[in-house]
Structure 1
């Protein structure tokens, strides 16, 4: 049994069969001497890795008798893992979290913090106490961006509580501290609705990070310009275009928006009407991406409805039709033409002769230079409403584009044929000259045969 000093966190003992002294600070959570740490070389800064950080280390693993069973140094390849996610033995998650960059330490790990009664393969026996010498080279935060392009990198400074996180539409209260090149530009407590953060000058990167947080969690994020103010910058904070920023965030409180599975059909329909009104308001103000999200949520809510009454069924159909139609319009404004066409087709499944959706689909096809297909859509619009002046204009535009395209093709093919004809003319004299030379060769060969009485081919044989 290890001997405890006056300082209960420091332990030193030895065993006659052990190659190592059982010494070091007791860093196990329960102070049961399960993980002892001895620093062999001090690190060079005060920052330590936190949960979810990706860490880069070299290690040598040994049994108590000094037998080496694994070594990243022998492979000449650093080992990397995400801290606190159970990707390694418990002792590592505990021990590496206490290290600094450049630090080398020795961890002595009791079986319950290592491989336990099972051991591991033939190299680590059951109930084995293990020794690891670990060098920490670097650690980086967790990439929480949707594109996994390092545009939003998070480091958890203090863990939160419970297990729920804010969802889209949740009301949140956060304490923010934004810095740019060491200068604090934004420090405040703010309440806002997830999805509408821009109304309070909250950048997308911060809003996205908050949806990954627990109540009372504190984190630090590094945000690239694409998830901040991008090429526009922010004059009120004196942030230039294309600037990367950092934020420290404390999620003080939040109230989740109701999930669709928590609603009955009537509630989904009512919520759909609210979202439609909200989306239209944002659309009128030019916030097309926010409006798009509102309309898309309507579709999500109504996918799983099972309305019983005919009136509710029709109300549901009309809401979905309006949602898809408005989704198409948002995509059109954002110049996302393929997505616009897809949304129009969803709407046309609900109402085949919907004038607005046919027009919007035609407009998207026109933008994609699919003039023939676009023309058909505008002609369909006119067959439904012959007085639609916009469709008349677009029809004429398509016809002009088709004529122009045909003329271009005609000129292109004419050039191709002209080029081929010239190449053919240039080949004819060459062919004629080749034929003449071939005839002369035959005459010479015949003369050669006559003088020698045999051909060169026969002489070779």
Structure 2
């Protein structure tokens, strides 16, 4: 900080007022602070922030000899960067906006043994009258000095955009010499943070901003490389004359985009927020209006209207599973655009759905049900699963008997779940519950057999056998699973045990014959391999 001579002024009145207020000592080196006027907020600047102050300075016991107030221009500097004496860096870091204080700064935190001739002699104690007008928070977004953000105007709220959101901004990007190279239209610009716009610094910075925030970005070359959206443009020609960028950026608003599956196969962009916090779950009756389009705008599907919405029950395959999963993340009254990838659809092109959730009715949570309600719900789910199984929809049927992840944090309740916790059941209800539970385990095992999940089959059948050691169906299905994993000894053990319980069971007899044939073929295969090994040794 340079000190210049100006007309001496007398602040005798201020000094007398200051003596009325208590003095505080800052740090271990004797810096003292006496507040003249309190600030208007609780926040204080942090190292790196650009602060703006008015000051007057004097030697201890003397008249003030320098003042920014006389010059009519506030003094600016970056806090904690060594641009001013240490006493300023330490003292001003404790101030609030509009606060005015007297700082008494010892030589060690001022100009030390050398002083600042001719105005400040060696080993001088300085007295500063400082008012903090404002400051601009400055943040190193990239962590390496590549993107420095100076907040010009604070935003509202606390939320900031997420990685997959679509943002609406105003911006002007220019070289350090002031030449504008890109800017948004008068209406602003909307872009996806996944795709980015102009340069990597834009997306990085926006993710740290709040609604309405205005900032100035100082961007080094490595973060300022421009996305070449126009292949004919010669952006590389700008590099020698414009290695670094200054971007004036305002975050106007953003639309939340939810990655339903976590792999960007189902993306939901919220265009209108819904009500409350609840959303549909499996079994909910929902009322929706939606239009399904290709990306070029071609309409392929249209269902419902505001007057007569389309009604269906979630997770019953009445609409495409991807769209159904998106609906189960929506709130009442929410409107959204759902994009489903071609791979997820098993279709030639992705689909875009414009959808509105008019209303929904959820099932009562199982933990709120009384014992009889749980039993009834379990029977309903089991019967629904049976119908799906007969239709060859084994995955959906399995979901009715069991639970699976719909999203990262939401689980479906399996039919058996409703009757697992039976401490409040009567003896008759316990018998009903155990019978239903065994039936659900066995039915789910049948589904898993159809889709080749043999390890799950063995687990489910083992659960049944722990409750009913003589259950022939469980032994039979577990033996099939063991055959599927070529664990033939265990398969034969279960088959023989099933036959000892029910010697006339036709299905078990047929499977026993298949097992014998399989073991015979396996024995021949082993003998052939052994014979080949012996011939090579000889």
TM-score by length of 2: 0.55
User: Which is strand-richer, 1 or 2?
Assistant: 2
Contact 1:152-1:205 at 8 Å conserved across structures? yes
| TM-align CA RMSD | 3.8
Q: Distance in 2 between matches of 1:326 and 1:38?
A: 59
1:273 to 2:379 alignment: yes
1:74-153 equivalence runs, <5 A: 79=204, 88=208, 92-95=209-212, 106=215, 133-134=248-249, 141-145=257-261, 148-153=262-267
For 1:404, the equivalent position in structure 2 comes to: 521
Evaluate the alpha carbon distance shift between residue 57 and residue 17 of structure 1 in structure 2; reply closer, same or farther with a 3 A threshold: farther
For 1:176, the equivalent position in structure 2 comes to: 290
1:213 to 2:345 alignment: no
**Structure 1 residue matching 2:283: 3-state secondary structure:** coil
Q: Tell me the CA shift for residue 177 of structure 1.
A: 1.2
Q: Distance in 1 between matches of 2:247 and 2:423?
A: 59
1:160 to 2:274 alignment: yes
For 1:112, the equivalent position in structure 2 comes to: none
Q: Distance in 1 between matches of 2:321 and 2:374?
A: 27
Contact 2:339-2:350 at 8 Å conserved across structures? yes
Evaluate the alpha carbon distance shift between residue 132 and residue 162 of structure 1 in structure 2; reply closer, same or farther with a 3 A threshold: farther
Aligned residues: 331
1:188 to 2:303 alignment: yes
Q: Tell me the CA shift for residue 178 of structure 1.
A: 0.8
User: Which is helix-richer, 1 or 2?
Assistant: 1
Evaluate the alpha carbon distance shift between residue 173 and residue 367 of structure 1 in structure 2; reply closer, same or farther with a 3 A threshold: same
Contact 1:57-1:134 at 8 Å conserved across structures? no
Q: 184, 193, 203: which one pairs with 1:43?
A: 184
Ranges in structure 2 where 5+ consecutive residues have no aligned partner: 1-71, 78-133, 137-150, 158-168, 174-182, 218-245, 305-309, 403-413
Q: Tell me the CA shift for residue 157 of structure 1.
A: 1.4
**Structure 1 residue matching 2:215: 3-state secondary structure:** strand
For 2:6, the equivalent position in structure 1 comes to: none
Q: Distance in 2 between matches of 1:248 and 1:291?
A: 29
Q: Distance in 2 between matches of 1:350 and 1:135?
A: 65
For 1:325, the equivalent position in structure 2 comes to: 442
Contact 1:276-1:295 at 8 Å conserved across structures? yes
Q: Distance in 1 between matches of 2:266 and 2:170?
A: 35
Q: Tell me the CA shift for residue 285 of structure 1.
A: 2.1
Q: Distance in 2 between matches of 1:338 and 1:226?
A: 28
Evaluate the alpha carbon distance shift between residue 396 and residue 21 of structure 1 in structure 2; reply closer, same or farther with a 3 A threshold: closer
Q: Distance in 1 between matches of 2:268 and 2:381?
A: 31
Evaluate the alpha carbon distance shift between residue 367 and residue 227 of structure 1 in structure 2; reply closer, same or farther with a 3 A threshold: same
Q: Distance in 2 between matches of 1:376 and 1:142?
A: 51
TM-score by length of 1: 0.63
For 2:165, the equivalent position in structure 1 comes to: none
